[in-house]
Structure 1
């Protein structure tokens, strides 16, 4: 064929690693609460359970959709999250279609600021995984808490297509969020390596 086993091994390894790097760089858009959205007393929806089943990463986008006359979203610190204290939010969102980009690893705490809503479970703890950048990229400052978002009394609206979470901006990114990316890459790599040595 004109290719040596070493060249075939190099090409197959490069292909597998490239695919894996594409999946790592993917960004997801999560509609908080999926079809139920962000509202008090959503039937069969526990925001704590909803968030615990997701794997959030830096760069992902949270979308809160709700009736702005009936609700809002407040980003708060941990003590105010536990106490449902809406008095001193870090940031207030009130557009009814808030799109929030995750800027750093750590926990992000959101509650409804409308009276009684948080107390009935309308609050969410978004845990963002810390992923180390490649060695050739500068490291962000090491901080156990997320980078503070710019304070704002209004919010930005989403220009992204919204659907049940997660929504991938890359078709290859589907594998990242459900843990199949690494397994698929390793399986493909082993298949190619074994095929090269059987020739």
Structure 2
């Protein structure tokens, strides 16, 4: 009887952990043009690019740029192109931003005037049940450049129709940044699965 209970428990555990075992996808923001001020001859806006992709928890956005920056802001600062109070700011030219929860993420350029010219982006990270495979062909396997952790926004719809435009973000922390978070998560999952396998075999 104990063995049967252990078997059922182990099966439920594996099923519950399945979404965490799915490999993440890295999306190069803006495709080949990267993160840059629109010239007026661009074939699509950053939000049009984002609408063609499906983002999930654990995925990454790769920002490639020169003499610019990436600001993570709240909805109000996004709409008004306010650069003075970002939630997070990155200037390394090769920023990897990891989405650690579902909801809306708002990005703008830190260069004066670039946001109003169209260098801004909203990314909606969906819950796992909203997955629509396959992923966009613009995605590439993640390399290991500099990384940045995703601060946790309160989900809100674009356009201001939702209550509560502001977000309650935690500061980006090294523990949850990029590849180190992936390694820590993988190690924990591996250890947990191994422990339950042992319990299952010897129960």
Which category of TM-score, normalised to the shorter sequence, fits these structures? 0.5 to 0.7
1:109 is matched with which residue?
106
Q: Deviations over 1:99-149 (max 9, x none)?
A: 1110111000000011110001100001000236xxxxxxxxxx8538835
1:148 aligns with 2:169: yes
**DSSP-derived class of the 2:44 partner:** coil
| Structure-1 residue corresponding to 2:184 | none
Partners of 2:74 and 2:111 lie apart in 1 by: 17
The runs of 5 or more residues in structure 1 that have no matched partner are: 1-17, 133-142, 160-199
Q: Using CA pairs below 8 Å that are at least 6 residues apart, which structure has the higher relative contact order?
A: 1
* 2:148 alignment counterpart: none
Query: TM-score, normalised to structure 1's length?
Result: 0.56
Is 2:98 aligned against 1:98?
no
Q: Does the residue aligned with 2:116 lie in a helix, a strand or coil?
A: helix
Counterparts of residues 159-170 of structure 1 (less than 5 Å): none
Q: Is the 2:19–2:128 Cα contact (8 Å) retained in structure 1?
A: no
Residues 33, 27 of structure 1: alpha-carbon distance in 2 compared, 3 angstrom cutoff: same
Residue 72, structure 1, aligned to residue 69, structure 2? yes
Cα 1:90–1:23 change in 2 (3 A) is: closer
State the superposition RMSD in angstroms: 3.1
The answer to whether the 8 Å contact 1:97/1:158 transfers is: no
Secondary structure of 2:55 counterpart? coil
Q: In 2, Cα distance between the equivalents of 1:147 and 1:57?
A: 20
Moved over 6 A (4+): 156-159
Unpaired runs of at least 5, structure 2: 1-14, 130-152, 156-166, 181-203
Q: Which residue of 1 is the match for residue 57 of structure 2?
A: 58
Question: Radius of gyration: which is bigger?
Answer: 1
1:103–1:147 contact (8 Å) kept in structure 2: no
